[in-house]
Structure 1
């Protein structure tokens, strides 16, 4: 009972912008949240980042906190939503790479040694060279994970037109990467 009373006082102080109360709550819940995130993410750096993101959200929304609800539950709900976003983003990225290559990136040993960040950066450079409309459609589809119907509704065009633009975009990207990958494949064959 005393613990709940102390926590409620901390939350009241936090709602008024008290940084010491925020720091105290961080010290209490930060390690627990980190352990929780680590079980899902299996990455120390990603788990640390998640804890920071959650507590930034707590600080930004401090005025809306309710002392009659469990702060711990609220905190872990935010964390779970962030973990879901992380996995959704990862799934979209893997799907994006799979469609570009026509291969399964997770099972290909040589692809494991490719720097995905560099590959994504190169794809972004190629997409930046697209006409604005094609670029917008492609980014909404592959980066934001929107369906053809959603994009069509937003841009007031048909879903078929969206699908055509995406297919053309993927074809262009594949052709450019194919030309550039000859050097990469030669390097992988000689040195790996």
Structure 2
């Protein structure tokens, strides 16, 4: 998670703090851009450009919430500009309406939820994190056990202990707990 002190470092020009923020949010920004431009390379370019614009305007933002909003909106706008410029999406951009607005907002929530959940899972012990990630990919306990060369009971124990830890860690993110309980 990005802390207020980390954001203050970014505002003052600390490139290492900015790199941490970049590493946390860049994958989500690429996914969002890819939804619009349907091209992995261009999506990466757009996400990088959004971060460059953020770095250049970092002193204008007071807290991390506005930075996240800035990045999401910037990626959306850069993606739409790309589509307009290349005339690949002229029909797409002409047809934008309320549904697109809600779709965009839902994608933001989805990406932010995934980022928070993934960060919490990454903080688990290595084997527990692997089990949880495989579970989220839809693998069953016996498949995970086979893949990792452990017993099904070991997988169940690791998942149980991981869920206890994640419940505490994500207690303020009720919606993520619902996702976890429904998916695993």
- TM-score, structure 2 as length reference: 0.45
Name the larger-Rg structure: 1
